[in-house]
Amino acid sequence: MLERFFSKPETVDRIRGCWLGSSIEDYVGWLVEEKYASRNVFRRVPLLTAFAAFSEARGIRDLSLLPTVIDDFVAERVRRSKPRNKRRRHELQKEIRSPIRHYLRHLDTRGLISLPQPPGPEIPFRKEAPEFFEFLKTVRGLKESSCYLHRHHLLFFERYLSRIRLRSLAALTPAHISAFIVSEGRRRCKQVMCLLCTALRTFLRYAYMKAVVPEDLSSSVPRPKTYRKSSLPRSITWDEVKAMLAVVDRRTPVGLRDHAMLLLIVTYGLRAREVASLQLGDIDWKRDRLHIRERKAKHATTYPLSETVGQAVLAYLQHARPETDQRRLFLCCLPPVRPVTHATVSMRVTKYLRKAGARVPRPGSHTLRHTCVTRLVDAGFSLKEIGDYVAHRSPVSTAVYAKVSMRNLREVALSDGEDML
């Protein structure tokens, strides 16, 4: 395998002659199987050969001890390179450390070494309420995403109590809770404060039920005043949509993939999770149909396949999608080849919105979903039809878009009110 990349026999002999030679050659074979670019081999193999010589000079010839000399090796290589500034020093450390860690993870998957498992998520109040999150899942029936939000907000509460040196929840008072909410309210919006207060009330009720606190303090958590439908959807104009699509470089595989994802969201109002979960079989090319399965409303939807969207998806399939047995439609363009996540879809949309200069708060995939719905409102579709089109679970979710129909609002403002009776 090494001869495929290094033409000089002495170079191949030098790599195989080091004490890590066999594992390096196996690693190169795995890189080729995973379709890594050749430049990865040319960059990583000399670095790993130098790492083998460095560890052997330190008296290490045991694979399990390799993680102990990574920091010393990185420091030595950086010192020899003499970076010109702190930024370049940080970049160089990453360029050296990442390939070595990747190589060690490969050894771990082969069973040659045993790397320590990364720590799990930090659990707030683990000692005083160890079963709280299990309670949320089994008794309250919350999804993992909801448990994550509770954990996120309660971590801030735990850190606040640590900062004011309150060591035990038994000493918690309404004054402590009020001070925490005031401090958080200075830097958070109302919607986030509502979620934070909900998580705090749930936890305090549980703590009282388990006798962690002497009294039920949940009533001391205020309910922030919010108004339904008080904000406008985060949509952009159709000219801004065209500008966003124009900045996508479709000469690259990534650009072809992203162009298809953007068109799917803005045409059908799909959520990022729905785009990421699309399968190859979800596109019926014979009947020009697009099937969206397992939507948030617990049903499936079938759309007519737009010619523009179909051409974009077809260009991606023909020229950009990696050759793999994966059935997911959208894949990462760089190895290891794996399906894109909903977070990747949202981040790619955010990148192009910012690159196009779209002025919208919190740009992301939902910006294009809102834009799709706003365009349907402007076209004169009813809210019921729009809600069915974008798979809203409740008509209440669609009602907010009534505020973006300027034609209807103008008729209401100029009429004498009789039409509303």
Percent of the chain topping pLDDT 90: 64
Q: What is the pLDDT of residues 320-352, one digit of tens each?
A: 998 888 999 999 988 888 999 999 999 999 999
Q: Which residue has the higher pLDDT, 119 or 170?
A: 170
User: Pairing mode, if any, of strands 289-292 and 301-304?
Assistant: antiparallel
Q: How far apart (Å, rounded) are the C-alpha atoms in residues 125 and 123?
A: 7
Q: What is the pLDDT of residues 361-381, one digit of tens each?
A: 889 999 999 899 888 888 888
Statement to judge: residues 139 and 96 lie in one domain = no
User: Binning pLDDT at 50, 70 and 90, where does residue 52 land?
Assistant: very high
Mean per-residue pLDDT over the chain, rounded: 89
Per-residue pLDDT at 232? 65
Q: What is the pLDDT of residues 382-409, one digit of tens each?
A: 888 888 888 887 777 777 776 655 555 5
Statement to judge: residues 154 and 71 lie in one domain = no
Q: How far apart (Å, rounded) are the C-alpha atoms in residues 48 and 96?
A: 10
Q: How far apart (Å, rounded) are the C-alpha atoms in residues 207 and 218?
A: 10
User: Binning pLDDT at 50, 70 and 90, where does residue 293 land?
Assistant: confident
User: Binning pLDDT at 50, 70 and 90, where does residue 100 land?
Assistant: very high
H-state helical runs in 18-143: 21-33, 38-57, 70-81, 86-109, 132-138
Q: What is the pLDDT of residues 179-195, one digit of tens each?
A: 999 999 888 888 889 99
Per-residue pLDDT at 379? 83
How far the first Cα of the chain sits from its last, in Å, is 81
Looking at residues 216-243, what average pLDDT do you find? Answer: 82
Looking at residues 355-364, what average pLDDT do you find? Answer: 88
User: Residue 420 above 50 pLDDT?
Assistant: no
Query: What is the number of domains present in the chain?
Result: 3
Q: How far apart (Å, rounded) are the C-alpha atoms in residues 59 and 68?
A: 12
Does 226 map to a domain? no
Q: How far apart (Å, rounded) are the C-alpha atoms in residues 149 and 198?
A: 10
Statement to judge: residues 205 and 249 lie in one domain = no
Does 147 map to a domain? yes
Q: What is the pLDDT of residues 113-147, one digit of tens each?
A: 888 877 778 899 999 999 999 999 999 998 888 99
| Residue 282, token pair as written in the block | 């979800």
Does 180 map to a domain? yes
Its domain, for residue 70, covers 2-109
Statement to judge: residues 272 and 392 lie in one domain = yes
User: Binning pLDDT at 50, 70 and 90, where does residue 421 land?
Assistant: very low
Statement to judge: residues 310 and 401 lie in one domain = yes
Count of alpha carbons within 13 angstroms of residue 245, beta-carbon side: 20
Per-residue pLDDT at 315? 96
- Catalytic residue numbers, as ranges: 271, 296, 366, 369, 392, 401
Q: How far apart (Å, rounded) are the C-alpha atoms in residues 83 and 90?
A: 9
Q: How far apart (Å, rounded) are the C-alpha atoms in residues 34 and 323?
A: 11
**Residue that finishes a domain, picked among 170, 190, 220:** 220
